Amino acid sequence: MRSAHVALLAVGIFSVLSLESLAQQRPSGGTPVGGLTPAQQLAFREGSLTFAKRYTIADGLGPVFNDDACSDCHQNGGGSNRRVSRFGRVDRIGAFDSLAQLGGSLIQSRGIGSITTADGTHEFVGERVPAEATVTAQRRSQPLLGLGFVDAVPDDAWRAIARAEREADPSTAGRVHMVRLTSGGVAVGKFGWKAQVATLMEFAGDALLNELGITNPLFRDESCPQGDCLALDFNPTPAMNDDGRDVEALNDFMTMLASPARGPITDEAIDGEQVFMELGCAHCHTPTLRTGPSAVSALNRVDFHPFSDFLLHDMGPLGDGIVQGQATGREMRTQPLWGLRTANRFMHDGATRTIEDAIRRHGGQAQAARDRFVALDGDRLSHLLAFLRSL
């Protein structure tokens, strides 16, 4: 929570008029968790407005970027079928190079156009995958719903989950992704397709920079367009674009965003959950996790049901080939299954249109569970799908 806002509310400087003024503005959508205090309600509302904010060149948008509002890719706080591209190169001995000198590994697909300064004119255009790349990958925009629960799980709990999985079955065990924080410390990564981001605060700062081109106290340096850092001499907004308030607002919004609602739980869905367990799907798609202490009452030491262990697993050919931090090209973070019933595209690349085909694409550590799925008879398959479509 933004301590400044909470403190101001506590001494009564913000009045009811502040809440009424915010209520008249158009929020991004998304439902907050229950039991918020008035200060937390205000912080969520402000965060939702920042989430829907359409950044301009004057705000610091770009000079290369993917979109100009968070809500375009994460509609109402959920996900979408919008995709971004990543690339890199694998050398003769199998080492991965993100080709940072050519703008890698993330493509910013749009530019702010022609900018004229005293030194001349430069045309900022969207980046493209360079010819030097040998690996390309598409990644779908992920839902943000319920991530405050995930952020509230202590690092020791993630280590305990990984340890329990190793003890139960080393062949399917995941591993924590230890991520270096911008502050210089390390923490367990939970967010992103490779669990490459450790906290929602850093997730917000990272997205502002890499998706919108908005520099901020956590990520101060502009991305060099296609690796050309000299082009930044023409950047029309070279000073830090956000002083930290937007990062904090987005963190508040994501922290207090409710988890996806569960659909009707029929008898078939109940039977299908048992099939899910028998196949071994729950070895990675952990049904229930528990948060630690939180200032938000709804997140404070509670059970929640994401159906994910948020750990890295070797997915064999399903891996996207991109190396990020400690995550190899074959490893992906277990995707949460909550909210599955509202999706119409699946997997990291969004290339799969049915739940059945998504399961068939599993490989690596998930191969045995996948093979058991393929062998299901009609009734058990029907019940399993009823369960998955209830999530």
Q: Give the model confidence (pLDDT) of 313-366 as tens digits.
A: 999 999 999 999 999 999 999 999 999 999 999 999 999 999 999 999 999 999
Closest C-alpha to 194, from 338, 355, 318, 342: 318
Residues 6+ apart with CB under 8 A from 320: 86, 137, 139, 193, 329, 332, 348, 349
- Please, which pLDDT band fits residue 17 given cuts at 50, 70 and 90? very low
Residue 38 falls within a domain, yes or no? yes
- pLDDT at residue 27 in the model: 46
If we measure between CA atoms, which residue out of 240, 242, 211, 234 comes closest to residue 126? 211
What mean pLDDT is predicted for residues 86-100?
96
Residue 86 has pLDDT above 60, yes or no: yes
Mean pLDDT of 210-218: 98
Taking 80 as the threshold, does the pLDDT of residue 28 lie above it?
no
Domain boundaries, position 45: 3-52
Burial class (CB in 10 A: 0-12, 13-18, 19+), 244: middle
The answer as to whether 8 is a domain residue is yes
Burial class (CB in 10 A: 0-12, 13-18, 19+), 69: middle
24 has pLDDT over 60: no
Domain total in the chain: 1
Q: Give which of 387, 326, 385, 332 is closest to 362, Cα–Cα.
A: 332
Q: Find residue 367's DSSP bridge partners.
A: none
Q: Does residue 43 register a pLDDT over 80? A: yes
Distance CA 391, CA 389 (A): 6
Rounded to 5 degrees, φ, ψ at 144 are: -105, -5
Strand partners, 115: 122
Rounded to whole angstroms, the Cα distance separating 62 from 237 reads 9
Whole-number pLDDT of residue 29: 59
Please state, rounded to an integer, the average pLDDT across all residues of the chain.
93
Looking at residue 79, its pLDDT comes to 85
Is the pLDDT confidence value at 5 over 60? no
Contact 197, 191 (CB under 8 A): yes
**Across 300-307, average pLDDT:** 98
Band (pLDDT 50/70/90 cuts) for residue 75 is confident
Q: What is the model's pTM?
A: 0.92
- The answer to whether residues 212 and 65 touch, using CB atoms and an 8 Å cutoff, is yes
What pLDDT is recorded for position 350?
95
pLDDT in tens, 51-62: 999 999 999 999
Identify which has the larger pLDDT, 338 or 79: 338
Q: Is residue 42 part of a domain?
A: yes
Distance (Å, whole) CA 266 – CA 264: 6
Looking at this protein, which amino acid is placed at residue 88? G
Query: 16 pLDDT band (50/70/90 cuts)?
Result: very low
Residue carrying the six token digits 């922290």: 255
Is 34 domain-assigned?
yes
- Asked whether residue 336 is domain-assigned, the answer is no
pLDDT at 1 over 80: no
> Residue 54: phi, psi to the nearest 5?
-100, 105
For 364-372, what is the mean pLDDT?
A: 98
pLDDT of 76: 81
- CB-based contacts of 12, cutoff 8 Å, min separation 6: none
The answer on pLDDT for 3 being more than 70 is no
- Phi, psi of 316, deg, nearest 5: 60, -135
The pLDDT of residue 197 is above 50? yes
* 357 found inside a domain: no
pLDDT (0 to 100) of residue 78? 83
> What would the two tokens of residue 206 be?
């990272």
Task: Classify residue 31: in a domain, yes or no.
Answer: yes
Query: Shortest CA distance to 282 belongs to which of 307, 318, 315?
Result: 307
Residue 19 lies in a domain: yes
Give first-to-last CA distance, the chain, whole Å. 29
Which residue in the block uniquely carries the two structure tokens 């001349």?
Answer: 120
Q: What is the Cα–Cα distance from 53 to 60, expressed in whole angstroms?
A: 13
High-pLDDT (> 90) share of the chain, %: 91
> What is the CA angle 203-336-272, rounded to 5?
170
Q: pLDDT of 154-185, one tens digit each?
A: 999 999 999 999 999 999 999 999 999 999 99
